[in-house]
C-alpha cells in the first residue's frame, strides 16, 4: 500500500511504491500537473534524489539549511533547454512539501 504525503495547494502527493526506493512526485507547473519518477540514492549518511525529467536525470539534494537544490551539469542544461529554472524550483518546493 503506497504512503501518501499531504501537501499544500499546488503540490500534490508523493506516493511510495513498495520499498524499492522509488516513487512518483506530482508537481503543479504552469497550471498543469506533471508526474516525475524519482529514485532515492543513498550515499552513506547522505542521500540524493534522482528525478527523471523527460529522460534527463537531475539530482536533488538537501543543502545545509535542509532546502533542496538541483545538481545538473552545464552541458546537460545547455543540451536540454526545456529544463527551465522555474521547473527545477517547482520540483524542489514539491520535494520540500513531501518530506516535511
Q: In terms of pLDDT, which residue wins out, 1 or 37?
A: 37
Is 30 part of a structural domain of the chain? yes
If you average pLDDT over residues 61-90, what whole number do you get? 89
Residue in the block written with cell 499546488 = 10
pLDDT above 60 for 5: no
Burial of 80 (0-12, 13-18, 19+ CB in 10 A): middle
Q: How many domains does the chain have?
A: 1
If you average pLDDT over residues 13-19, what whole number do you get? 44
pLDDT above 70 for 39: yes
Q: What separation in angstroms does the CA of 57 have from each of 10, 31, 69, 79?
A: 23, 23, 14, 12
Structural domain boundaries, residue 37: 11-98
Is 2 part of a structural domain of the chain? no
Predicted confidence at residue 20, as pLDDT, reads 61
Predicted confidence at residue 33, as pLDDT, reads 94
Is 67 part of a structural domain of the chain? yes
Is 6 part of a structural domain of the chain? no
What one-character DSSP code corresponds to residue 89?
A: H
Amino acid at each position: 500500500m503506497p504512503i501518501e504525503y499531504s501537501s499544500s495547494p499546488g503540490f500534490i502527493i508523493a506516493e511510495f511504491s513498495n520499498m524499492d526506493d522509488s516513487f512518483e512526485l506530482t508537481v503543479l507547473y504552469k497550471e498543469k500537473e506533471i508526474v516525475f519518477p524519482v529514485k532515492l540514492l543513498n550515499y552513506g549518511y547522505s542521500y540524493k534524489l534522482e528525478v527523471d525529467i523527460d529522460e534527463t536525470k537531475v539530482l536533488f539534494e538537501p543543502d545545509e539549511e535542509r532546502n533542496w537544490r538541483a545538481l545538473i551539469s552545464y552541458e546537460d542544461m545547455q543540451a536540454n533547454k526545456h529544463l527551465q529554472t522555474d521547473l527545477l524550483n517547482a520540483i524542489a518546493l514539491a520535494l520540500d512539501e513531501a518530506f516535511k
